[in-house]
Amino acid sequence: MRKKIVAGNWKMNNDLNQTIDLINELKELKNIKDVSVMIAPAYPFLKTSHDLLEDSPIEVVSQNVHQKSNGAYTGEVSIEMLQSIGVSTTLIGHSERRAYFNESDDVLLAKTEFALDNNFNIIFCFGEELSDRKSKKHFEIVKIQLDNTVMKIKKESWKNIILAYEPVWAIGTGETASPEQAQEMHEFIRNCVENTFDKSISEEVSILYGGSVKPSNANEIFNKKDVDGGLIGGASLSAKDFKLIIEANSSL
């Protein structure tokens, strides 16, 4: 049975005190059944966050990782550094890393393979731009992104993969794919995995939706059969909203 997951990506937000306050509010979550909850604070606060949540089911994950174990890569963070503070999951391929830091499919594949070789878990992000959607190339673009990256990894590594579909046009814009559009793309993604590998893998991999999920639309989106949860941006910075989104997935 696929895992239901709600992951909060805090991006470059919250100072130390704000991070601590938000985590302390989230620690009050009660009666959440059958949902894995993750948060991705900013790098300087990963250790503090992990320590605060040591006795909590909430997992602290990284927003990014480098594809080499060490070296002259100023400003980068390695797998070993993350492992040393108890972090074992990372985002890879977020649309902002692709757009603002020019991370190509080749770089993302290298990061993915290196992380998997080091027993890391990955939330792999991908999705189309507004121009792709308007020109009806959204399926083609998503398939290319997958074929160039995670579809090249070893079959046995899929147990460490979570997929996160991000319609880029619906991130931070207030726009949201309709539940029907989300389901349509998630079903397409699942079929791509099955066609490349097999049905057992496609049925086991969790596929998250990441595009302006809010308390008001979470239940309707999460209720779709191929949507296994969400990668939440802005709404995860509010403990109240994030809790409501988690509860929406838990209630299904």
Nearest in space to 145 (alpha carbons), one of 194, 210, 92, 184: 92
Q: Which residues contact 196 (CB under 8 A, 6 or more apart)?
A: 147, 151
List per-residue pLDDT tens for the chain, 252 residues long.
Answer: 799 999 999 999 999 999 999 999 999 887 677 999 999 999 999 999 999 999 899 999 999 999 999 999 999 999 999 999 999 999 999 999 999 999 999 999 999 999 999 999 999 999 999 888 889 999 999 999 999 999 999 999 999 999 999 999 887 666 668 999 999 999 999 999 999 999 999 999 999 999 889 999 999 999 999 999 999 999 999 999 999 999 998 876
d(C-alpha 202, C-alpha 208), whole Å: 13
Which residues are designated catalytic?
Answer: 94, 166
Q: Are 132 and 138 in contact (CB under 8 A)?
A: yes
Q: Say if CB 193 and CB 201 are below 8 A apart.
A: yes
Selection from 145, 151, 150, 166 nearest residue 95 by Cα: 166
Q: Which domains does the chain have, with CATH numbers?
A: 4-128+136-166+186-205+225-234 (3.20.20.70)
pTM above 0.75, yes or no: yes
Q: Which of 54, 61, 48 is nearest to 10 (CA)?
A: 61
